[in-house]
Amino acid sequence: MRDLEAIADRVEIAALCGEYTDAVMTRDYDRLVSLFTQDAVLRIPEAGVELSGREQIHAGIARMQGQWEFFVQNTHPGAIRLDGDTASGRAHIQELGKMRDGMSAVDYALYHDRYRRTPDGWKFAERVYEIRYLDTTPLAGGPWSGDSA
Protein backbone atom coordinates (compact mmCIF):
# COMPACT_ATOMS: atom_id res chain seq x y z
CA MET A 1 0.00 0.00 0.00
CA ARG A 2 2.86 2.40 0.78
CA ASP A 3 4.10 2.15 -2.84
CA LEU A 4 0.71 3.30 -4.14
CA GLU A 5 0.77 6.27 -1.75
CA ALA A 6 4.25 7.22 -2.96
CA ILE A 7 3.12 7.01 -6.58
CA ALA A 8 0.08 9.17 -5.80
CA ASP A 9 2.30 11.72 -4.00
CA ARG A 10 4.67 11.88 -6.98
CA VAL A 11 1.80 12.34 -9.43
CA GLU A 12 0.29 15.12 -7.29
CA ILE A 13 3.63 16.93 -6.97
CA ALA A 14 4.26 16.68 -10.72
CA ALA A 15 0.75 18.05 -11.33
CA LEU A 16 1.52 20.92 -8.91
CA CYS A 17 4.49 21.93 -11.09
CA GLY A 18 2.29 21.76 -14.20
CA GLU A 19 -0.38 23.89 -12.51
CA TYR A 20 2.27 26.49 -11.66
CA THR A 21 3.34 26.81 -15.31
CA ASP A 22 -0.28 26.95 -16.48
CA ALA A 23 -1.12 29.66 -13.94
CA VAL A 24 1.94 31.70 -15.00
CA MET A 25 1.13 31.29 -18.70
CA THR A 26 -2.49 32.37 -18.22
CA ARG A 27 -1.53 35.09 -15.71
CA ASP A 28 -3.91 33.59 -13.16
CA TYR A 29 -2.07 34.88 -10.09
CA ASP A 30 -4.83 33.95 -7.63
CA ARG A 31 -4.59 30.31 -8.72
CA LEU A 32 -0.80 30.55 -8.73
CA VAL A 33 -0.56 31.66 -5.09
CA SER A 34 -3.03 28.96 -4.06
CA LEU A 35 -0.30 26.47 -5.03
CA PHE A 36 1.95 27.80 -2.22
CA THR A 37 1.75 27.35 1.54
CA GLN A 38 0.86 30.52 3.45
CA ASP A 39 4.50 30.93 4.58
CA ALA A 40 6.14 29.91 1.30
CA VAL A 41 9.19 31.62 -0.17
CA LEU A 42 9.93 32.21 -3.86
CA ARG A 43 13.52 33.16 -4.68
CA ILE A 44 15.17 34.26 -7.91
CA PRO A 45 18.73 34.93 -6.71
CA GLU A 46 20.07 36.17 -10.07
CA ALA A 47 17.44 38.94 -10.04
CA GLY A 48 17.72 39.68 -6.31
CA VAL A 49 14.11 38.57 -5.78
CA GLU A 50 12.88 37.02 -2.54
CA LEU A 51 9.14 36.91 -1.98
CA SER A 52 7.74 35.59 1.31
CA GLY A 53 4.12 34.59 1.79
CA ARG A 54 1.25 34.46 -0.65
CA GLU A 55 0.65 38.23 -0.77
CA GLN A 56 4.24 39.05 -1.71
CA ILE A 57 4.36 36.17 -4.20
CA HIS A 58 1.15 37.39 -5.87
CA ALA A 59 2.35 40.99 -6.14
CA GLY A 60 5.87 40.03 -7.21
CA ILE A 61 4.83 37.59 -9.92
CA ALA A 62 2.23 40.05 -11.27
CA ARG A 63 4.86 42.80 -11.36
CA MET A 64 7.47 40.62 -13.06
CA GLN A 65 5.00 39.17 -15.58
CA GLY A 66 3.77 42.70 -16.35
CA GLN A 67 7.22 43.46 -17.78
CA TRP A 68 6.80 40.88 -20.55
CA GLU A 69 5.14 41.60 -23.90
CA PHE A 70 4.88 37.83 -24.28
CA PHE A 71 6.23 34.95 -22.27
CA VAL A 72 6.30 31.16 -22.75
CA GLN A 73 7.36 28.73 -20.03
CA ASN A 74 7.68 24.96 -20.37
CA THR A 75 8.21 22.69 -17.37
CA HIS A 76 9.83 19.30 -17.64
CA PRO A 77 9.73 16.78 -14.80
CA GLY A 78 12.75 16.45 -12.56
CA ALA A 79 13.60 14.55 -9.41
CA ILE A 80 11.17 14.18 -6.50
CA ARG A 81 12.31 12.92 -3.09
CA LEU A 82 9.55 12.06 -0.64
CA ASP A 83 10.00 12.30 3.12
CA GLY A 84 6.64 11.78 4.82
CA ASP A 85 4.62 14.98 4.65
CA THR A 86 7.47 16.92 3.05
CA ALA A 87 9.38 16.44 -0.17
CA SER A 88 12.03 18.09 -2.28
CA GLY A 89 12.60 18.13 -5.98
CA ARG A 90 13.53 19.94 -9.12
CA ALA A 91 11.63 21.06 -12.19
CA HIS A 92 13.49 21.78 -15.42
CA ILE A 93 12.37 24.99 -17.11
CA GLN A 94 12.69 26.37 -20.64
CA GLU A 95 11.41 29.90 -21.25
CA LEU A 96 11.36 32.47 -23.98
CA GLY A 97 9.83 35.86 -24.34
CA LYS A 98 10.17 39.50 -25.15
CA MET A 99 10.02 42.21 -22.55
CA ARG A 100 8.13 45.46 -23.04
CA ASP A 101 11.47 47.32 -23.17
CA GLY A 102 12.41 45.25 -26.26
CA MET A 103 14.83 42.79 -24.62
CA SER A 104 14.40 39.17 -25.68
CA ALA A 105 15.37 36.14 -23.65
CA VAL A 106 15.64 32.39 -24.04
CA ASP A 107 16.69 30.53 -20.93
CA TYR A 108 17.02 27.11 -19.43
CA ALA A 109 16.68 26.92 -15.68
CA LEU A 110 15.87 24.78 -12.68
CA TYR A 111 13.40 25.27 -9.90
CA HIS A 112 14.76 23.77 -6.70
CA ASP A 113 11.60 23.00 -4.74
CA ARG A 114 10.49 22.06 -1.26
CA TYR A 115 6.94 20.73 -0.99
CA ARG A 116 4.64 20.26 1.98
CA ARG A 117 1.52 18.11 2.29
CA THR A 118 -1.44 20.21 3.50
CA PRO A 119 -5.11 19.39 4.05
CA ASP A 120 -5.61 20.78 0.51
CA GLY A 121 -2.90 18.57 -1.01
CA TRP A 122 0.76 19.16 -1.83
CA LYS A 123 1.90 22.80 -1.98
CA PHE A 124 5.16 24.63 -2.63
CA ALA A 125 6.91 25.60 0.59
CA GLU A 126 9.85 27.04 -1.34
CA ARG A 127 10.85 27.56 -4.98
CA VAL A 128 14.34 28.73 -5.87
CA TYR A 129 14.93 29.59 -9.53
CA GLU A 130 18.42 28.94 -10.95
CA ILE A 131 19.27 30.03 -14.48
CA ARG A 132 21.61 27.59 -16.23
CA TYR A 133 21.66 29.21 -19.71
CA LEU A 134 20.56 32.64 -20.93
CA ASP A 135 20.51 33.99 -24.49
CA THR A 136 19.42 37.61 -24.99
CA THR A 137 19.80 37.57 -28.78
CA PRO A 138 16.72 39.29 -30.25
CA LEU A 139 14.04 36.74 -31.12
CA ALA A 140 13.18 36.48 -34.81
CA GLY A 141 9.52 35.82 -34.04
CA GLY A 142 6.92 37.31 -31.79
CA PRO A 143 3.44 36.72 -30.45
CA TRP A 144 1.16 35.07 -32.96
CA SER A 145 -1.33 37.59 -34.29
CA GLY A 146 -3.68 35.07 -35.89
CA ASP A 147 -2.55 35.98 -39.41
CA SER A 148 -1.12 33.25 -41.54
CA ALA A 149 2.32 34.15 -42.81
Taking only the tens place, the pLDDT of each residue in 5-17 is 999 999 999 999 9
**Residue 85: per-residue pLDDT:** 97
Domain total for the chain?
A: 1
Instruction: Quickly state the pLDDT bin for 149 (edges 50, 70, 90).
Output: low
**Residue 145: per-residue pLDDT:** 80
Does the pTM surpass 0.85? The reply is yes
pLDDT over threshold 90, residue 147? no
Rounded average pLDDT over 25-33? 97
Is 25:72 a contact under the CB 8 Å cutoff?
yes
Rounded average pLDDT over 23-27? 95
**Residue 148: per-residue pLDDT:** 57
In a domain, 8, yes or no: yes
In a domain, 149, yes or no: no
In a domain, 116, yes or no: yes
DSSP letter string over 2-15? HHHHHHHHHHHHHH
Is 119:92 a contact under the CB 8 Å cutoff?
no
The single-letter DSSP state of residue 67 is T
Average pLDDT, the chain: 95
In a domain, 118, yes or no: yes
In a domain, 122, yes or no: yes
In a domain, 121, yes or no: yes
Residue range(s) defining the domain that contains residue 14: 2-135
The tens digit of pLDDT for each residue in 92-127 reads 999 999 999 999 999 999 999 999 999 999 999 999
